[in-house]
Amino acid sequence: MAKPSTPKPKHIPMRRCVVCRESKAQAELIRFYRTESGWQLDEQGKAGGRGAWLCQKESCHEDKALKRFFRQDAGRIRETLERYKQETKAKSQESRAKRIRVAVGGMNV
């Protein structure tokens, strides 16, 4: 029996968290970009300008940690992060509910 050919590993872009300095896959990080009025959340990860990446560890979202990099913007960044996390949580709950409905449908209930 012929072995299935192993697909080439995809190149995963890595980024470094500005707080803990750990490199992680870009998709796992949250991007901020610098504007004249301060740092803004870059939800699409596509905004131009100077960018800063933040990982999803709770310890990297604490005021003390954020201040090391974002300075006077830390408070606002923290609020933005909280809102962003609420939104992503709501989204993942929604998709879980969808999966459950599909599973139930498949059982001919």
Query: Which residues in this chain contact Zn ion in the complex, by CB under 5 A?
Result: 17, 19-20, 55, 57, 60
* The two three-digit tokens of residue 50, written as one number: 């100077």
Nearest to Zn ion of 40, 56 (CB atom): 56
Residues sharing a CB contact under 8 Å with residue 42, sequence separation 6 or more, in sequence order = 31, 32, 33, 51
Min dist CB 41 to Zn ion, Å, is 16
Nearest to Zn ion of 34, 57 (CB atom): 57
Nearest to Zn ion of 27, 102 (CB atom): 27
Min dist CB 78 to Zn ion, Å, is 14
Residues sharing a CB contact under 8 Å with residue 16, sequence separation 6 or more, in sequence order = 22, 23, 24, 53
* The two three-digit tokens of residue 20, written as one number: 């803990």
